[in-house]
A and B are shown apart, each in its own frame.
Chain A
Amino acid sequence: MDKIIEIRDCTAVYGKNKVLDQVSLTITKGEFIVIIGPSGCGKTTLLKMMNGLIVPIKGEVLVKGQRLAECNLVAMRRSIGYAVQGAKLFPHMTVEENICYVPCLEKKLPKEERRMLAKKMLEMVELPAELAVRFPGQLSGGQKQRVGIARAMASDPEILLMDEPFGAVDEITRRTLQDELLALQRRTGITVVFITHDIGEAFKLGSRILVMKEGGIWQEGTKEELTEHPKDRFVSQLIGR
């Protein structure tokens, strides 16, 4: 099995508070990891450690076999997709420019290539190609979110990090987005790390689910393992059994 992300004994602090306490985690290529837990349990911190936005004070993070502390972080990030709640598109760029953002960081693509790439990515997230010329301010919440995913996927990354990407869209759109993401993941075999606070979403998407509490991984397993053998009341309450 190919290890793609390894977190070894990592401790992270925010100010004086320990947000992660000696966490270890190994993610295999092609897994769909869902992280769930209450606010402040450290799930976003754990995710941001994987692309070096947060650096642990103890322990080390390896992505694709390279230590983040030693590798070229900028180049590494370009090979990791990143999508967050509310999409956070660049408001001064068109949809096309947003989608082509990462590939263009390396070297500016010619106009024709950008157009083709935007078209391909919009098709992938099932948006009409006409949206390419619009600005984020002219899109609906669900459309923004899809563009956010298209932007994260444009450089064909091996890893996709998603921090509550569907948190700000309505229920119906969310379900569609979940289905599309799942199909996409199966089609491309991309490794996904996905944060949510919705247990239904976690069960639907995750091939492995990490339940986090108080800066640590409390329990992990598949949907069946969690529902059949919850570790304690905290987990059983979380999954609503």
Chain B
Amino acid sequence: MQIIQILWDRREFFLTCLMEHIRISLTAVVCAGVLGILAGIFISRHRKLAGVVLGVINVIYTIPSISLLGFLIPFTGIGNKTAIIALTVYGLLPIVRNTYTGLTNVDPSILEVAEGLGADKRQLMFGVKFPLALPVIISGFRNMVVMIIAMSGIASFIGAGGLGSAIYRGITTYNMTLTAAGSLLIALLALFSDWALSKAEKAVNRRYGIG
């Protein structure tokens, strides 16, 4: 009850936070998505590099998010920019890994038929390989989006905006209701995005006659 009360009373504050949160997350999602898919395509073509690239990304992933933010401050200062960079770096792992897995697991006999029928390299990648890997790539994308939305909450510790600032303010002023309200909104945002993407995933799978 108290949470709903506070959400209503300070709705303008929460709305600003929510919009800021969406803006930061969305920027990071786009950056990680584009970079991640390109990197995934690249390492699927240069298999020898795949182990190294995935290894490096894995190691970065093990750095606690709060310390990665700390590391970045000397270089990029505090604020949204640093937050977006950190979130992008974290978001890379699921999308690169799934793009790579998806592309390398496409049935080789189908690719061979496409080649035998006269598809050139580009037509093979974007007409057959990529679309067939799409279900796996989308599921990686879904993971990434949920993770970035949740992790954006921490970004306010380095001065970025978003719903994290509501949580942070709640903690520093012993206002548990404020913290809970901020967390609730983050959770709802993550759940909603996940739900929306699951719809997209289902639509793709249905189009491919699976599931």
Is B123 interfacial (CB 8 A cutoff)?
yes
A-B contacts, 17 listed (Cβ < 8 Å): A74-B119, A82-B116, A84-B113, A86-B109, A88-B107, A88-B113, A90-B110, A90-B128, A90-B132, A91-B132, A91-B210, A92-B131, A105-B118, A105-B119, A135-B209, A136-B209, A137-B208
Given contacts A91-B132, A91-B209, A138-B209, whether A102 and B117 have CB atoms under 8 Å apart is yes
A88 touches B131 (CB 8 A): no
A78 touches B132 (CB 8 A): no
What is the bound-complex CA distance between A161 and B123, given in angstroms? Answer: 22
A75 touches B117 (CB 8 A): no
Residue-wise, chain B 122-136 has the 8 Å CB interface mask toward A (1 for contact) of: 010000100110100
Residue-wise, chain A 129-148 has the 8 Å CB interface mask toward B (1 for contact) of: 00000011110000000000
The answer, among A48, A77, A91, A135, for a CB contact under 8 Å with B117, is A77
Is A166 interfacial (CB 8 A cutoff)?
no
Minimal beta-carbon separation of B114 from chain A (angstroms): 7
Is A45 interfacial (CB 8 A cutoff)?
no
A74 touches B118 (CB 8 A): yes
A92 touches B116 (CB 8 A): no
The answer, among B110, B116, B208, B209, for a CB contact under 8 Å with A77, is B116
A53 touches B116 (CB 8 A): yes
Minimal beta-carbon separation of B171 from chain A (angstroms): 49
Taking residues whose C-beta sits less than 8 angstroms from the other chain, chain B's interface range is 20 to 34
Given contacts A90-B128, A101-B114, 16 further A-B contacts (CB under 8 A): A51-B116, A75-B118, A78-B118, A79-B118, A82-B116, A82-B117, A84-B113, A90-B132, A91-B132, A92-B132, A92-B207, A101-B117, A105-B117, A105-B118, A135-B209, A151-B117
What is the bound-complex CA distance between A170 and B211, given in angstroms? Answer: 26
User: Mostly helix, strand, loop or mixed at chain B's interface?
Assistant: helix
Beta-carbon nearest neighbor of B128 in chain A: A90
B118 touches A90 (CB 8 A): no
List A63-107 residues whose CB lies under 8 Å from chain B.
Answer: 74-80, 82, 84, 86, 88, 90-92, 101-102, 105
Q: Which residues on the A side are within 8 Å of B209 (C-beta)? A: 91, 135-138
Q: Which residues on the B side are within 8 Å of A88 (C-beta)? A: 107, 109-110, 113
List A41-60 residues whose CB lies under 8 Å from chain B.
Answer: 48, 51, 53
Given contacts A84-B109, A91-B209, A137-B210, whether A53 and B115 have CB atoms under 8 Å apart is yes
Q: Which residues on the B side are within 8 Å of A86 (C-beta)? A: 109
What is the bound-complex CA distance between A237 and B120, given in angstroms? Answer: 43
The answer, among B112, B120, B131, for a CB contact under 8 Å with A74, is B120
Minimal beta-carbon separation of B202 from chain A (angstroms): 15
Given contacts A84-B109, A137-B208, A137-B210, whether A90 and B115 have CB atoms under 8 Å apart is no
What is the bound-complex CA distance between A136 and B118, given in angstroms? Answer: 20
What is the bound-complex CA distance between A92 and B203, given in angstroms? Answer: 12
List B90-109 residues whose CB lies under 8 Å from chain A.
Answer: 107, 109
